[in-house]
């Protein structure tokens, strides 16, 4: 455990973070992708203004959720976006803002960690029953000072909030010191401000009333705090014991301390003003300081160590205040502070307004009422689609350089891990149609529609029957050997001089196999190319489904455009996309039957960029498993966006490099170029340059034979 505490992600961030990232997000830049705050989105359908990138938003939520899980050690704490209602935690979930362009992004992370820590460590049930936990004498003490029962509960709750925050922050700082930076960013944004620093050394909130005590209490940790500003403030400091806050192990411990602090405050307030109802004679009390403002009456001598010889208060400009701070030596909790100087500081009217707003901001933070940008119903629906499909960005092409300027030109690939009907119905992915076989059977009755899926199933059933022998094993026993295991049937022959009583058994079986099928889903693959390719792909999936020791994954590669033809110029963004449509290890074959009819050819050909994105998903060949990579394509790689110019030699060389990477894993690569004689004559050299000398050209009518070829491969030993 001690080793874990030494881990400091901030140090890693400082060493490896990208210099071009937003400098105000010093800590988050370590784990967030570059361009996390870009305004394009695959869900931009009409263009009124740039939309939030929902894939980046989903990745951000997932990353924050991982951090909350790491810090709290509780994977059940969920991180969600605010869609409606209150934005503070309900004791079960952490809510975060959907605003990605926040310059102080680290504060959002800190706030999520803060809320998650409260969920883990705070007793929300205890806090809900606060009324039953407060002894009656504390209500009576409050009543004497003019405060109702509800007001007493509010005061105690606010004190608990402060003490509990200090207890929990100390726990996180102690157990996970590497995450302090996020907390500091949070407090800088939501709690601390220059006007508070100035107010703490001024004569503001030095009258002994409830507002003054609460203001001075929640700012005890500020380096400018002055314990001489109010009677009893030093006692409050000692009672809370910030330097020994680790002694508090529970919300109940924080509650006990809070009651003591409450008593100190009440005992330093004037008794309430007695009010007698003229009709009933009922006696009630109202606070004696009601109506007082925050201005100190410095001549009254309030506070410990007051000095009647002080000069009149002096208003300071921001520059004078900064100079005072630079020249002073202030210690939190010290007996001497600015109030002991020959001059008191007072705030201007404008500064007082700033202070009022700063205190409101602090109180909202204490109450957990931080304003967080909500997601719309449509964004929430689209986010659910992104989450359920496992959609994310994969950084690729980090080694590719611009051929004109030699500048690195990395880009992103949209990775979709799961094909679902919900994703299809969302009408957000270009290669997915909302109608079956839409490109070739437009407006036909879906219930009676048949196409490449049904044809593929028929062919696959035939191939699958031949493959079933793959799941069988043949056992051969050799007996009367000089060594091996004793054959019990021959033991009796030992007495007759026969020493060859041993046997060996040989089991002959097929190795397990893994097949990754990658299909070019660019627009040029449309028509008969698409129909025959998909028939072959479905046939292989069906055949594999009929045996037990072969797995198949089918991915489709194309491009995804955000925005629409009505979009403003420059707001359209295009990325390569990989869709993992089927994985026999986790999916039932029914998925092929029901969802593959909605796939269509659309977009351009980013080839190697997509191969790079799926490298980690390809299973390497091992002692017990043979691995195959089957590629269908019909053209040369070409793609371009604002990040990269992926054409000609740049694209060809990168694709070849990615194919070599796959081969280095021991994977048997088989690539088929689908085209006519014209395609073959102009593309033979470059295609073999990318995929190797064993790459094959086949015409449209021969695509179905690929499934039969793979069948033979599976039957080889």
* Euclidean distance between CA atoms 25 and 28, whole angstroms: 6
Write down the pLDDT at residue 572: 56
Helix (H, G, I), strand (E, B) or coil at 6: coil
Question: Is residue 457 a contact partner of residue 540, using CB atoms and an 8 Å limit?
Answer: no
Task: Identify which of 203, 200, 210, 209 has the alpha carbon closest to the alpha carbon of residue 358.
Answer: 200
Residues 6+ apart with CB under 8 A from 636: 605, 651, 652, 683, 686, 687
Residues 6+ apart with CB under 8 A from 696: 670, 671, 672, 673
* Euclidean distance between CA atoms 219 and 206, whole angstroms: 13
388 to each of 334, 421, 493, how far by Cα in Å? 55, 11, 69
Question: Is residue 509 a contact partner of residue 474, using CB atoms and an 8 Å limit?
Answer: yes
Give the DSSP per-residue string, 61-99: HHHHHHHHHHHHS-TT-EEEE--SS--S--SSEEEE---
Write down the pLDDT at residue 40: 52
**Start-to-end C-alpha separation, the chain:** 50
**How is the chain split into domains, by residue range?**
10-121, 134-180+191-366, 429-468+510-715, 474-508
3-state secondary structure 456-523: HHHHHHHHHHHHHHHHCCEEEEEEEECCCEECHHHHHHHHHCCCCCEEEEEEECCCEEEEEEEEECCH
What tokens does 115 get?
A: 């809320």
Write down the pLDDT at residue 30: 54
* Euclidean distance between CA atoms 695 and 671, whole angstroms: 5
pLDDT per 10-residue tile (average), the chain, 717 residues: 41 37 55 51 48 77 83 83 62 78 72 88 90 93 92 94 93 87 88 90 92 94 92 96 94 96 95 80 75 44 46 58 51 43 72 91 84 78 86 92 84 94 90 79 55 92 75 58 65 63 58 91 91 92 88 96 50 85 96 95 93 94 89 89 90 94 93 73 78 81 74 66
Dihedral (Cα; 311, 317, 321, 324), 10-degree rounding: -60
CATH class of 429-468+510-715: alpha beta
* Euclidean distance between CA atoms 576 and 605, whole angstroms: 8
Question: Is residue 636 a contact partner of residue 662, using CB atoms and an 8 Å limit?
Answer: no
* Euclidean distance between CA atoms 620 and 663, whole angstroms: 9
Question: Is residue 654 a contact partner of residue 647, using CB atoms and an 8 Å limit?
Answer: no
């Amino acid at each position: 455990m001690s080793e874990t505490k030494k881990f400091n992600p901030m140090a890693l961030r400082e060493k490896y973070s990208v210099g071009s990232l937003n400098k105000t997000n010093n800590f988050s830049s370590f784990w967030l992708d570059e361009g996390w705050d870009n305004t394009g989105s695959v869900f931009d359908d009409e263009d009124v203004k740039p939309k939030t990138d929902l894939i980046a938003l989903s990745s951000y939520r997932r990353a924050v959720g991982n951090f909350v899980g790491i810090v709290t050690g509780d994977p059940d704490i969920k991180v969600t976006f605010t869609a409606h209602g209150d934005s503070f935690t309900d004791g079960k979930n952490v809510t975060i803002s959907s605003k990605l362009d926040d310059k102080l992004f680290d504060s959002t992370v800190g706030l999520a960690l803060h809320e998650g820590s409260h969920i883990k460590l705070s007793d929300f049930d205890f806090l809900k029953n606060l009324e039953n936990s407060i002894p009656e004498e504390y209500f009576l003490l409050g009543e004497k000072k003019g405060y109702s029962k509800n007001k007493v509960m509010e005061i105690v709750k606010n004190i608990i909030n402060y003490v509990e925050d200090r207890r929990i922050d100390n726990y996180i700082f102690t157990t996970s010191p590497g995450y302090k930076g996020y907390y500091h960013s949070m407090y800088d944004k939501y709690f601390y401000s220059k006007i508070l620093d100035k107010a703490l050394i001024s004569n503001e909130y030095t009258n002994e009333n409830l507002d003054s005590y609460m203001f001075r209490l929640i700012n005890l940790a500020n380096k400018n705090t002055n314990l001489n500003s109010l009677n009893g403030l030093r006692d409050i400091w000692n009672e809370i014991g910030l330097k020994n806050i680790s002694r508090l192990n529970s919300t109940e411990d924080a509650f006990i301390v809070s009651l003591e602090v409450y008593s100190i405050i009440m005992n330093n307030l004037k008794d309430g003003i007695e009010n007698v109802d003229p009709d009933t004679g009922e006696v009630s009390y109202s606070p004696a300081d009601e109506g007082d403002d925050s201005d100190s009456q410095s001549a009254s001598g309030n506070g410990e160590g007051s000095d009647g010889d002080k000069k009149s208060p002096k208003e300071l400009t921001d520059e004078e205040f900064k100079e005072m701070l630079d020249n002073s030596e202030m210690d939190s909790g010290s007996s001497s502070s600015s109030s002991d100087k020959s001059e008191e500081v007072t705030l201007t009217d404008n500064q007082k307004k700033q202070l009022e707003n700063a205190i409101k901001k602090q109180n909202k933070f204490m109450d957990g009422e931080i304003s967080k940008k909500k997601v719309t119903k449509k964004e929430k629906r689209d986010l659910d689609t992104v989450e359920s499909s496992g959609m994310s960005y994969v950084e690729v092409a980090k080694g590719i350089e611009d051929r004109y300027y030699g500048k690195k030109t990395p880009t992103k690939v949209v990775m979709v891990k799961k094909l679902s009907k919900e994703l299809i119905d969302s009408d957000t992915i270009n290669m997915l149609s909302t109608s079956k076989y839409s490109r070739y059977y437009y407006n036909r009755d879906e219930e009676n529609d048949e196409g490449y899926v049904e044809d593929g199933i028929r062919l696959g059933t035939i191939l699958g029957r031949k493959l079933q022998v793959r799941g069988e094993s043949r056992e051969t026993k050799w007996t009367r050997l000089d060594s091996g295991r004793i054959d019990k049937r021959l033991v009796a022959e030992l007495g007759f001089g026969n020493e060859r009583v041993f046997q060996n058994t040989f089991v002959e079986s097929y190795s397990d196999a893994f097949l990754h099928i990658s299909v070019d889903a660019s627009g040029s693959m449309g028509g008969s190319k698409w129909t025959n390719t998909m028939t072959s792909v479905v046939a292989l999936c069906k055949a594999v489904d009929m045996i037990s020791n072969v797995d198949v994954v089918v991915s489709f590669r194309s491009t995804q455009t955000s925005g629409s033809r009505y979009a403003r110029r420059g707001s359209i963004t295009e990325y390569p996309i990989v869709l993992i449509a089927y994985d026999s290890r986790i999916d039932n074959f029914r998925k092929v039957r029901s969802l593959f009819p909605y796939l269509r050819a659309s977009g351009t050909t980013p080839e190697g960029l997509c191969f790079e994105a799926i490298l980690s998903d390809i299973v390497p060949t091992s002692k017990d498993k043979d691995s195959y990579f089957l590629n269908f394509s019909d053209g040369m790689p070409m793609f371009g966006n604002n990040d990269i110019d992926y054409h000609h030699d740049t694209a060809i060389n990168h694709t070849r490099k990615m194919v070599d990477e796959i081969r280095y894993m021991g994977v048997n690569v088989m690539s088929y170029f689908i085209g006519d004689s014209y395609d073959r004559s102009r593309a033979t050299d470059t295609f073999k340059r990318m995929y190797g000398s064993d790459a094959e050209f086949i015409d449209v009518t021969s695509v179905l034979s690929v499934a039969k070829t793979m069948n033979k491969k599976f039957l080889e030993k």
